[in-house]
Amino acid sequence: MSNLQVLEIIENLKGRRNYEEKKASKLGFNSLYAYIESKLLKEKEAEAAKILEQSAAKEEMIEEKKLEKKKSCSCC
């Protein structure tokens, strides 16, 4: 148990600790620590996916702008 962020979250649960422990055991986790650690990992992966999605959208816009500039005449 070395992740300080997980330990801090567990300390701040207060009245929700029993609820979270039941939820963790229902989902098959051995401990509340493992459950919270998994939740944090999923959040980080979701953020990374969101950032990649945004950068891909920006790249597509840049490529579209480059294609538009290659036209040789004003009638097309």
pLDDT at 51: 86
**Residue 53: its pLDDT value, please?**
80
CA 39 to chain centre: 10
Residue 22's Cβ-side half-sphere holds a number of Cα atoms within 13 Å equal to 5
In contact, 43 and 49? CB cutoff 8 Å:
no
Phi/psi of residue 25, each to 5°? -70, -35
Mean pLDDT of the chain: 83
- Give CA–CA dist 43/5, Å, rounded: 13
pTM: 0.66
